[in-house]
Amino acid sequence: VMEPRIYLVVNVDADPDPVDTPADNDAVLEKYKIVQQLINERCSGKAVISVHSSPLYRERFIQSPFVDFWKEWTSGGGDLVLHMEEDFYALPENRRASSTGFENLEIVEQAMKETVSALSSEGLTCRAYRGGSNSMTPEIAEVLTELGISVDLSCAPGLIWKERAVNWARAPLSGYFMSPQALARAVDPGGQGPLLEIPLGWDGINDGDTAPRKPNHHYLANESSTYEDLCRVWNVILERADNSGNHQAVSLLSHTHTAKTARFHSQLDAFLRFVT
């Protein structure tokens, strides 16, 4: 069997929606299960899903009925991602456009540890992390190492949103071991680091004069793209693998909140069929 030219992490962001008046548990779980069925059919269950933690919802996703769903997901071959959403899901009085939500690291660190501990008590492990808005700081990277989390999915090469601790300018386009001092840089060539960064797939194109803040149609980001663009970006990454002689390790981002939106659900289905 030939070695794959691309190793793809299918990353399912399970943030509740909408932000201000979220659906009840049954409605959220209905969307989770729709995506789960698709992942089972197209990826044999092998995808990651995020366990949401935010100022609005510290306890919700580490309690029943969600814990039961996480167990079902992992028993089917999937993994869990610790996903801190400190900005969009901030308390109303603290919500600011220029805030990352990570200013008070002590609170965030405690929330991370409590989430991981609660899951561990149920026999569940978060093997990866992703920051809200693709944010990452050296302090968070250090906490991840302390928690035993060795994979990060925050990187989106080319994105810059410094007010929200997003600065992936000139980040490697394929999986790399992060330098603790410069998050968008790899450790010395061939070196190993405590945190393996798996970037969002990107075609390397920036349309404007300024770097985008959020993933657009140049990324493997389902809701920000079209089927044609997703396939085009995939083919660019394939060509990159062939030209470099090295396989590529990238991620694809999709969200559970679009599970019942026909366009995005069918688009994800079609793209995963194209990929596999």
For 247-266, how does the pLDDT look when each residue is reduced to its tens digit (9 = 90+)? Answer: 999 999 999 999 999 999 99
CA distance 167 to 155: 9
pLDDT bucket at 97, cuts 50 / 70 / 90: low
Average pLDDT over residues 28-51: 97
Angle between helices 262-275 and 227-244 (to 10 degrees): 30
Instruction: Using a pLDDT cut of 70, give the percent of the chain over it.
Output: 94
Average pLDDT over residues 40-63: 95
Helix or strand holding residue 243 (H, E): helix 227-244
Residue corresponding to tokens 């167990």: 71
Please give the DSSP secondary-structure letter assigned to residue 170: T
Helix or strand holding residue 50 (H, E): strand 48-53
Contacts of 201-208 with C-beta under 8 Å, sequence gap 24+, read: 201/8, 201/233, 201/234, 201/237, 201/248, 201/250, 201/251, 201/252, 202/156, 202/157, 202/158, 202/173, 202/233, 202/250, 203/232, 203/233, 203/236, 203/237, 204/157, 204/158, 204/173, 204/236, 206/158
Strands 160-161 and 166-167: antiparallel
Q: What is the pLDDT of residue 146?
A: 95
CB distance 221 to 251 below 8 Å: no
Q: What is the pLDDT of residue 86?
A: 80
Q: Which of 265, 263, 203, 272 is nearest to 232 (CA)?
A: 203
Q: Is the pLDDT of residue 23 over 60?
A: yes
Q: Is the pLDDT of residue 95 over 80?
A: no
